[in-house]
Structure 1
Amino acid sequence: MARKTHPLRTATDSPKMRDCIDWCLAQRIDFVRTSPHQIKVQHLNYYPDREAIQFDGKKKLPVGTFEKFKNLALQNREWRRGQLGKFAPGLTDE
């Protein structure tokens, strides 16, 4: 089943969303915009305006800043199943 995506940019984007999209493009991060409020990098979900980060099927991380997202997105290039705790301490793949 194909994943629903939204336009990469819209006229109503917040400055935080624009900054996030610009950074992902500049870093050549493979991402999709799954809603007007969400950026998805593999299993990593980021909501710039709420500063919330969540891995698929996991609890929201306690720190959801843009800096934390950038670190996780860059590390996510190396992410492999079984290593979630390495990138998000306290979380496991179970």
Structure 2
Amino acid sequence: MSTTFSQLGVPQWVSEALARQGITEPFQIQKITIKEGLDGDDICGRAPTGSGKTLAFGIPLVVRTKAAKPRKPQSLILAPTRELADQICKEHKP
């Protein structure tokens, strides 16, 4: 049986947004990290290129940022290269 984003604690509005992009099942790295990230725990993951790392860290970030107080710093994402920064930006646009 496959795991769904909802089973990992991802809110329905996020699951629906992912489904609109054709993303319906989490990758292994996402199964391991999303719950901890949603709980506010630090997460560290390592996986090959194309294995879903950007969303593994991004989904908890988006959910927790949405719940944060307005007008306060909410998140900072650092990337070692411009190309990776562009990828992260594209993955997290509404």
- Superposition TM-score, scaled by structure 2 size: 0.31
More helix by share: 2
What is the TM-score when the length of structure 1 is the normalising length? 0.31
